[in-house]
Amino acid sequence: MKNKKEISVLIIYTGGTIGMVHDPSTGSLVPIDFRHISDHVPELRKFGYDLHSISFDPVKDSSNIDPGIWIKMAEIIEESYDDFDGFVILHGTDTMAYTASALSFMLENLAKPVILTGSQLPIGLLRTDGRENLITAIEIAAAIENGLPAVPEVCIFFDNKLTRGNRTTKMSAEHFDAFYSPNYHLLAEVGLHLKYYNNPISYPAKEQKLIVHKAFDTNVAILKLFPGINRKLVNAITKTEGLRGLIIETYGSGNAPTYQWFLEDLKQYIDKGGIILNVTQCHGGSVEMGLYETSRQMLTAGVVSGRDITSEASVTKLMHLLGRFSSKEKVVQSLNMSLAGEIS
């Protein structure tokens, strides 16, 4: 059993509100130098863990994070995988659920915690939520239970809740309670105690070497349906040159209009080699194709059910699979499978 000093955590600061303080000379928010993180959060010194940090340069507002940056994050984890017991990624909240989903697909056979966190208020402000989020994220990344990492998954820790990254979605631009996991149980909750829920946590069956998948194909699109959607728009998307995958955000349990032109356009796109994934615009629940006539016809046309996947996980999974496989059959087969616990 390791003692506290032997447990090491790497903090990877990518950017976002959490790492901001007021510059006294200008009054503006500026990123802090994460090499001196414990000057801003002195509580970290009390942990006793061996903490290391690395910062992106320049740091990124998460709206500017893209697959190239996911690859950089995964490479940092890959290079230092054997040297650390856990990883904390500090990230802007806006696209955190996309990054967490992407990393969950990239890091095959992950056996160590990768905990993403951030904050709604900068760490340099008195009322910040960043201090609590950072401290507990580190505690989770360092936690060992029965000699093994307590949560060997890519997760998001925010406002006292630990959720599986690829099941999580940002729901509030205002509240500290900014994320939720609509279709999957919490992995841990923090109150007086840090309570891990062992059943929903996924533990690797046996130790296998970490495999990092680094290819993404961004030739994808998301089309959100709305009453009155017109053919010109649907056509512009399905006829986009090189578009290999299209996510349709449908109504309720996966329903869409039964207009003949709509089904014809989808079928034509699929027959020409495209893949369509049906994801619900509802914030919870699952696509159930065939339950209503309005989804049965899409099933017949060859549309794939996204089941209870989040929008963030669906687009990152599709880009990941299209980057990994050239065969349409292989991509469709993998869309129907849970790769990292993203669908039930």
The CA distance from 255 to 69, in Å, is 35
CB of 285 to ligand ASP, least distance (A): 27
CB of 61 to ligand ASP, least distance (A): 4
∠ CA 83-68-342, rounded to 5°: 75
Q: Which is nearer to ligand ASP, 19 or 152 (CB)?
A: 19
Q: Is the dihedral of CA 126, 196, 312, 248 positive or negative?
A: negative
Q: Which is nearer to ligand ASP, 94 or 159 (CB)?
A: 94
**Four-point Cα dihedral 152, 153, 157, 160, nearest 10:** -60
The CA distance from 306 to 115, in Å, is 25
Q: Which is nearer to ligand ASP, 95 or 314 (CB)?
A: 95
Closest CA to 274 of 236, 323, 239, 308: 239
Ordered alpha helix ranges (H), the chain: 37-40, 44-47, 67-80, 96-106, 130-142, 231-238, 260-271, 293-301, 311-324, 328-335
CB of 173 to ligand ASP, least distance (A): 8
CB of 297 to ligand ASP, least distance (A): 39
Q: What are the residue numbers of the active site?
A: 17
CB of 19 to ligand ASP, least distance (A): 9
Rg (CA), the chain: 21
Closest CA to 119 of 155, 79, 160: 160
The CA distance from 115 to 10, in Å, is 10
Residue nearest to ligand ASP (CB): 92
Q: Which is nearer to ligand ASP, 61 or 145 (CB)?
A: 61
- Residues in a beta bridge with 88: 11, 115
Residues that bind ligand ASP (CB under 6 A): 15-17, 61-63, 92-94, 118
Strands (DSSP E) found in 110-201 = 114-117, 144-145, 148-149, 154-158, 161-164, 169-170, 179-180, 188-190, 194-196
Q: Which is nearer to ligand ASP, 118 or 152 (CB)?
A: 118
Q: Is the dihedral of CA 107, 112, 113, 114 positive or negative?
A: negative
Q: Which is nearer to ligand ASP, 103 or 270 (CB)?
A: 103
CB of 245 to ligand ASP, least distance (A): 25
The H or E element spanning position 291 is none
Show the tokens assigned to 319.
């880009």
